[in-house]
Amino acid sequence: MGSDKSVQVLTLLKEISVLKELDSAYEAGPKTQGEQNAHQQREERHQGIAEEIKALAKEKKNDEQQSESSDR
C-alpha cells in the first residue's frame, strides 16, 4: 500500500511542475482577465495538492506505525 501512496505523491508532484510552468508563462506575458482567473485557479489547485501530499504522508506514517506495532 505504501507504493500506492508514493505513486500518488509522484503524480501530484508532476501536476505541481506543470502548474509552475504555466505560472512562469503567465508571469512573462500580458494578463487578461481570463489569464488572471486561470492563475488564481492554479494557485488554489497548488494549495490543494500540498494538502493532499500532507494527508498522504500522514497516512503513510500511520500505516508504518501500525505495522511496527503489529510486528511486536
Three-state DSSP at 39 gives helix
**Residue 62 one-letter amino acid:** N
The full set of domain ranges for the chain reads 2-71
The pTM (predicted TM-score) of the whole model is 0.77
CB 2, CB 63: distance < 8 Å: yes
**Alpha carbon distances (Å) from 2 to 6, 13, 30, 62, 69:** 6, 17, 43, 11, 16
Write out pLDDT tens, residues 38-55. Answer: 999 999 999 999 999 999
Binned at pLDDT 50, 70 and 90, residue 20 comes out as very high
pLDDT at 1 over 50: no
